[in-house]
Amino acid sequence: MDYISTRNNKISVSSSFAITHGIAADGGLFMPVGIPELSADDFENLCAMTYIERAAFVLKKYLTDFSDDEIRACVEGAYTRSFENDNPAPLAALGADTRVIELWHGPTCAFKDLALQLLPYLMTTASKHVADGKKIVIPVATSGDTGKAALEGFKDVENTEIIVFYPSDGVSPAQKLQMSTQEGSNVHVFGIVGNFDDAQSGVKKIFTDESVIGKLAANGYEFSSANSINWGRLVPQIVYYISAYCDMKNEGVDLSDGFNITVPTGNFGNILAAYFAKAMGLPVNKLICASNKNKILTDFINTGKYDKNRDFYTTISPSMDILISSNLERMLYLLSGDDNYVARLQNELMTLGRYEVTDGIKNKLGEIFYGGYCDDAKTLETISSLYHDFGYLCDTHTAVAVTVANEYKVKTGDKRPMVIASTASPYKFTKSVLKALGEEVPEDEFEAIGKLSAVTGAPVPSPIANLCGKKVRFAEVIDKSAIKDAVYSSLNM
């Protein structure tokens, strides 16, 4: 399987190259040239497998320059010990035909762990294939969860340095603590004055800056990415949608008419992985894209116009406070099949802050996706009603998804089974969850965590409990224009 750039399909590289480099030289994103299709037999076999076996099976379809043994070693390394259960993506039932796929039982309590526990293995293996002997430097822009998951995945991984930039005032207290107390000898963390889009634009800019690349190379380094622009982040996410289907099937859920998937969406990575699963043959009817008040994707799906010239809101679901959804670029390529067209749209986005797709693409988009959003008040209401109706405690991002999934069911009358991606533990957003339950909210984060556990009986995940009393190692906040200098200083250059 070869990989091309979304902005130039004459660039053609191996999966190892795509994973070690992260982003194409022209600023485009790497895409497999085709999407492998699974047969009915394949699905039957997958249903009888463990999660690790399912992951190996799916990865093999895309990472064709990895040997079977290499893939096996990667998935076993990633999923054997780091998650609470053998199945890192277990299902919880909300009534007869809705399932929540809980993607937060890993070391940082967010779905990013599913990909970022695996990515270091993929990257070090891939790096041997392309064998240029350089050390890998990974600058990461995060809206809160990717940063911690990447730090935890790459800490002390040989020949890598990881440098995280998060919006100083745009993450939850638990998220900030998780990052500022990170251990490891190759980790660097900076708050920036600005929002996630500033961090992401700053990081993307140095990726393709010849002078930075040259200076790094002279010091024996090269860039890669742990953000979801890296194909190595997306392919592990395809696995859990296929796995959820198998688990439901094994449970006896009637999937003969297909099912729907709702994903709380920011950078469009998670829902794009669900689209790949669908395109591989998973019987998915509709993909429901759920946004918070930053509803740029809802508007795009409904109007075909993507326009980031709008107010930016800081919400209680901060991991979705994003106006530039990077992975949409891959979807535009899949829908148009036209690299020049994608390059033109991305250029318009960069210069004008907006673009509009053709009617043909807008219609295709509407066939595949349903877009909806909800505000903070509705998010809190849903947390409360889920808890009271089902005894189920969820975080703010998951609550956005549940709200939009319910809206979709009411608006369309579609009664197919629904899978909802639950992307973070409620204990990463404890104060909002306590507020939703109508409780007094203590000022101190750990007091709040203890209270939520006392009120609900839901166990505090050990990675959160263990944060208490940890030493803060990284407190530096920099201007968004200083990202390049922060990279240099982290590498002692």
Which residues between 421 and 440 bind ligand PLP (CB under 6 A)? 423-424
CB 271 within 8 A of CB 405: no
**99/397 with CB nearer ligand PLP:** 397
Token code pair at residue 115: 């990909």
Q: Quote the least distance from Cβ 44 to ligand PLP, whole Å.
A: 29
464 binds ligand PLP (CB under 6 A): no
266 lines the binding site for ligand PLP (CB under 6 A): yes
Q: What angle do CA 385, 301, 432 make, to 5 degrees?
A: 30
Site for ligand PLP in 20-79 (CB under 6 A): none
- 108 is a contact residue toward ligand PLP (CB under 6 A): no
Q: Pick one of 225, 270, 292, 382: the residue that binds ligand PLP (CB under 6 A).
A: 270
Minimum separation from the CB atom of position 370 to ligand PLP (A): 15
Does residue number 228 form part of the binding site for ligand PLP (CB under 6 A)? Answer: yes
Please list the helix, strand and coil fractions of the chain in percent, rounded to the nearest 5, in that order: 50, 15, 35
User: How near is the Cβ of 173 to ligand PLP at its closest, in Å?
Assistant: 15
Stretch that binds ligand PLP, among 207-215, 264-272, 275-283, 409-417 (CB under 6 A): 264-272
Residues 491, 217 contacting (CB under 8 angstroms) = no
In the complex, the smallest distance separating the C-beta of residue 408 from ligand PLP, rounded to whole angstroms, is: 18
Q: How far apart are CA 67 and CA 314, in angstroms?
A: 45
What residues have CB less than 8 Å from 285, skipping those under 6 apart? 257, 258, 259, 260, 414, 416
Supply the angle between the helices 483-490 and 210-218 in degrees, to the nearest 10. 0
Which residue stretch of 27-35, 246-254, 268-276, 479-487 sits at the interface with ligand PLP (rule: CB under 6 A)?
268-276
- What contacts 196, CB < 8 A, 6 or more positions away? 141, 142, 143, 167, 170, 321, 322
CB 32 within 8 A of CB 1: yes
The burial of 129, by beta-carbon neighbours within 10 Å (0-12 exposed, 13-18 middle, 19 or more buried), is given as middle
Spatial contact of 63 and 80, defined as CB atoms under 8 Å apart: no
Structure token pair of residue 122: 């993929």
Binding flag, residue 110, ligand PLP (CB under 6 A)? yes
Q: In whole angstroms, what is the distance from residue 399 CA to residue 376 CA? A: 10
**Residue whose entry in the numeric block shows the structure tokens 């796995």:** 243
d(CA 429, CA 436): 11
Question: What b/e readout covers 309-321, taking b as 16+ CB neighbours within 10 angstroms?
Answer: eeebeebbbbbbb
Identity (one letter) of the amino acid at 268? F
| Separation between Cα atoms, residue 298 and residue 281, nearest integer Å | 25
From residue 363 to residue 402, the character string flagging contacts with ligand PLP as x (rule: CB under 6 A) and all else as - is ----------------------------------x-----
Stretch that binds ligand PLP, among 91-99, 165-173, 258-266, 450-458 (CB under 6 A): 258-266
**CA atoms of 231 and 63, how far apart (whole Å):** 10
Quote the CA–CA distance of 479 and 121 in Å, as a whole number: 33
Q: Which of 264, 372, 417, 463 binds ligand PLP (CB under 6 A)?
A: 264
Structure tokens of 348? Answer: 């318009």
Part of the chain binding ligand PLP (CB under 6 A), chosen from 71-79, 82-90, 259-267, 463-471: 259-267
Q: Which is nearer to ligand PLP, 267 or 294 (CB)?
A: 267
264 bridge partner residues: 290
Q: How far is the CB of 327 from ligand PLP (least distance, A)?
A: 7
**With contact defined as beta carbons under 8 Å apart, do 104 and 423 qualify?**
yes
Residue 31 Cα to chain centre, angstroms: 17
> Which amino acid, one-letter code, is at 141?
A
Our CB check for ligand PLP shows the closer of 399 and 460 to be 399
What's the length of the chain? 493
> How many chain residues are in contact with ligand PLP, going by CB under 6 A?
16
Alpha-helix residue ranges (DSSP H) falling in 415-482: 430-436, 445-456, 462-465
Is 152 among the residues that bind ligand PLP (CB under 6 A)? no
Task: Determine the 3-state secondary structure of 25 from DSSP.
Answer: coil
**Minimum CB distance to ligand PLP, residue 131 (Å):** 31
Regarding 244 and contact with ligand PLP (CB under 6 A), the answer is no
Interacting residue with ligand PLP among 113, 145, 197, 247 (CB under 6 A): 145
Binding letters toward ligand PLP, positions 112-131, x by CB under 6 A: x-------------------
CB of 431 to ligand PLP, least distance (A): 15
Binding mask 187-226 for ligand PLP (x = CB under 6 A): ----------------------------------------
**172 lines the binding site for ligand PLP (CB under 6 A):** no
With binding defined as CB under 6 A, does residue 320 bind ligand PLP? Answer: yes
Nearest distance in Å: CB 253, ligand PLP: 25
Which one of the spans 47-55, 127-135, 240-248, 261-269 is the region binding ligand PLP (CB under 6 A)?
A: 261-269
With CB under 6 A as the contact rule, the residue among 27, 139, 269, 371 that binds ligand PLP is 269
Nearer to ligand PLP, 224 or 325 (CB): 325
53 versus 84: smaller Cβ distance to ligand PLP = 84
Instruction: Give the binding site for ligand PLP (CB under 6 A).
Output: 110, 112, 145, 228, 264-270, 319-320, 397, 423-424
